Amino acid sequence: MLFVLELLFYTWCRVQSVNTGYRIDEETRRHQHLLKLQSSLKIELARLKSPARIAEIARTQLGLKMPDAKQTIVLP
């Protein structure tokens, strides 16, 4: 009886060990996916913050233009 209990306990430990390994592997893949996503989001943020893009939107969508010399005031 004791041998059977030890065998069941050993089997349970092995199953738990294999399941833990699978979870670690899954979380490692998820981590790699999130790192790739973060990298692409950083690139997208840099593109969206581009001064050339902002100036283009200001000219085309908002109708803004650079001020004339008469429209600027230099503060002391």
Domain ranges of the chain: 11-63
- In single-letter form, the type of residue at position 60 comes to T
Locate tokens 């670690």: which residue? 24
Tell whether the model's pLDDT for residue 43 goes beyond 90. yes
The pLDDT value recorded for residue 76 is 85
Please give the Cα distance from 42 to 72 (Å, whole number): 36
Give the pLDDT mean for 27-45: 98
Tell whether the model's pLDDT for residue 61 goes beyond 90. yes
Tell whether the model's pLDDT for residue 74 goes beyond 90. no
Give the pLDDT mean for 44-69: 94
Give the pLDDT mean for 16-27: 97
What share of the chain in percent tops pLDDT 90?
80
